[in-house]
Amino acid sequence: MDQSEKDAGTITALILRMDEIRLPRVRRLQLKVNAGELLDESDIDFLKRVHDDYQANQALIQRNPEFSRIMSCFIDLYAEIIAKGFDNEKAR
């Protein structure tokens, strides 16, 4: 199996995880912070795991520009949630 086949399998698994697990939770977090609520410890742990996964998959992301664009959109969304959560903390 060559690298592109391995990448394709890994990307498929990551996209499924993003679609089925992470995106629904991200949407809930976005609603939460947009309503002025604070991120709790489990929310922060989730965001840290996402960041760690992103870091661990840097080589894969760089080798696959189409996946890179998807990840970039996700990371922008996470950054927005973190920034809004921080703003909510400061407002309290």
Unique residue bearing structure tokens 């809004």: 84
First to last CA, the chain: 54
The pLDDT tens digits of the residues spanning 3-62 come to 989 999 999 999 999 999 999 999 999 999 999 999 999 999 999 999 899 899 999 999
| Domain of residue 38, residue span | 3-91
- 1 alpha carbon, distance to own chain's centre: 28
Q: State the Cα–Cα distance between residues 33 and 55, nearest whole angstrom.
A: 25
Number of domains in the chain: 1
Q: What is the pTM of this model?
A: 0.85
Q: State the Cα–Cα distance between residues 84 and 32, nearest whole angstrom.
A: 10
Work out the angle between the directed axes of helices 65-91 and 23-34 (0-180°, nearest 10). 30
Nearest to 86 by CA among 43, 55, 23: 43
